[in-house]
Structure 1
Amino acid sequence: MNKIGLITGASSGIGEATAEMLAAEGYDLILLARREDKLIELSDKLTSKFNIQVKKIVADIRDKENISYLLNALPAQWKSVQILVNNAGLSQGLNSIDTGDVDDWDTMIDTNVKGLLYVSRIVSEWMVSAQTGHIINIGSIAGKEVYLNGNVYCATKHAVDALSQGMRIDLLPYGIKVTAIHPGMVETEFSVVRFKGDVNRAKKVYEGLEPLYAKDIADAIQFVISRPKHVNINDMLIMPTAQATAAIVKRD
């Protein structure tokens, strides 16, 4: 088999762009996402275009027992994962702490923090056994600074930043690299999810400026994984030119 990459949240956005990049680099892929139709479409495209093998895992990373079962049930040869991209994540709502929706909080914490941990716990053990691997956690500018009404989402992305640092320390003895990539505004389904399907409201987020695109983040991941064995990119903050901070942007 080729080298193997595992991507969570693989069915769209940064996950999809990363899958295409890794396929072009000759990786066989384990694609994990909730939407089976999107996974099938992406898998068919990648296997046809790049002549690679793909394993599709239809699951919600919040479901600890199911994630554990599905990953551990993979054939032994598929457990030699060289690259793990913890991309699955979301934001729900944009409320102040006193009006926040507790269900939204649970969804964000369970996905962005606990789901990342459930996958990393299993895959990192495989990497430790192999004495090699690279974990790439997709964080956010929200993990570097807090903005108005970002509260719980920002807290989850600060957790991703801290977990990346902790993983790097814990996995250092085994030669495993850990990188955190923190994008600013990226035009994906992110804002549609945040605003619970309100497409018009989501579009306004990017009006009057050119945001980052999913491929920009995939390009950054390609750079990170292509460094020599003795080089690790610990942390990368990527912003569109029109964005200075989480809340300060230039609109035409």
Structure 2
Amino acid sequence: MTPANDRPTAVVTGASSGIGAATARHLAGAGFHVVLGARRAERCAEIATEIGGTALSLDVTDAGSVRAFADAVPEARVLVNNAGGAKGLEPVEQADEDDWRWMWETNVLGTLRVTQAFLPKLRASGDGHVITVTSIAALDFYDNGAGYTGAKHAQAMLHRTLRGELLGEPIRVTEICPGMVETEFSEVRFDGDAERAAKVYQGITPLTADDVADTITFAATRPSHVNLDQIVLKPRAQASGTRAHRE
């Protein structure tokens, strides 16, 4: 990958759809050269062509893939850890170990691998920024969601710990905690069951991927001395992970 002239580089994981794709577009609009990483590299390539970015294959659950991805990016100022997701909605007694393992590998270890790979580049930029998309699930718990809320809590602890560990270094650290966002998230959670996924958003106006991307871009474009530690955003009609007003 060739450095993008005078444009700072922003790296976005999970960039093939949803919040990641929207974030890539918004950051490009704010003047960044965006490197898009995801397993569905062909979808990243389409977006990269649209915004003048770079698409690279990335599987955050594979350490070798993360190393190759990072090696292909010579410099970076912003890292958006967006890759993640949920699988299943069963009580602890019926929990599927494979679903839990996938959630921990993707949300927690994936974030760890990518962050470790890019911290030296962010530090070298002199004005780095780690932005991690967690969830309001990282702030609370709900019945049948222990696998996802557990993974998001762990991911959040990883991210929040960085705030202290990087104190005094030229790297900002921001956590984005979205509530209900209508993307492919619920379809993935319910193994492609579009009808069941649609019911999650029934009777409510959820956030859009663009809403979250706009918030991420706002955080990334604050003056260097301003660190937005944590931003929680939810639809007006949602109070928590378990309370929402539906028409």
TM surpasses 0.5: yes
Q: Quick check: 225-234 or 127-136, which moved more?
A: 127-136
CA distance in 2, matches of 1:30, 1:229: 21
User: Which residue of 2 is the match for residue 104 of structure 1?
Assistant: 99
User: Which residue of 2 is the match for residue 50 of structure 1?
Assistant: none
Shift of 1:173: 2.2
Q: In the alignment, is residue 198 of structure 1 matched against residue 193 of structure 2?
A: yes
User: Which residue of 2 is the match for residue 64 of structure 1?
Assistant: 63
CA distance in 2, matches of 1:175, 1:46: 28
User: Which residue of 2 is the match for residue 51 of structure 1?
Assistant: none
Shift of 1:128: 2.3
CA distance in 1, matches of 2:65, 2:218: 33
Q: 2:76–2:125: 8 Å Cα contact kept in structure 1?
A: no
Q: In the alignment, is residue 153 of structure 1 matched against residue 148 of structure 2?
A: yes
Q: 2:136–2:241: 8 Å Cα contact kept in structure 1?
A: yes
Report matched runs for 1:1-252 at 5 Å. 1=5, 2-47=7-52, 54-72=53-71, 74=72, 78-252=73-247
**What is the TM-score of this pair, normalised by structure 2?**
0.95
Shift of 1:70: 2.8
Identity percentage of aligned residues: 41
Q: 1:80–1:130: 8 Å Cα contact kept in structure 2?
A: yes
- Describe the SS at the equivalent of 1:244: coil
Q: 1:186–1:214: 8 Å Cα contact kept in structure 2?
A: yes
Shift of 1:242: 0.7
CA distance in 2, matches of 1:121, 1:98: 35
CA distance in 1, matches of 2:202, 2:68: 43
Q: Deviations over 1:179-230 (max 9, x none)?
A: 0000000000000000000000000000001000001111111221222221
CA distance in 2, matches of 1:80, 1:12: 24
CA distance in 2, matches of 1:206, 1:139: 19
- The residue type equivalent to 1:65 in the other structure is G
- Describe the SS at the equivalent of 1:174: coil
- The residue type equivalent to 1:126 in the other structure is K
- Describe the SS at the equivalent of 2:165: helix
Aligned residues: 242
Q: Deviations over 1:216-252 (max 9, x none)?
A: 1111112212222211100111110110110111000
Shift of 1:66: 2.0
CA distance in 2, matches of 1:70, 1:233: 27
Note the aligned Cα RMSD (angstroms). Answer: 1.1
Q: Deviations over 1:93-132 (max 9, x none)?
A: 0011111111101100000000011100010122223332
Q: Spell out structure 1 runs of 4+ moving beyond 6 A.
A: none
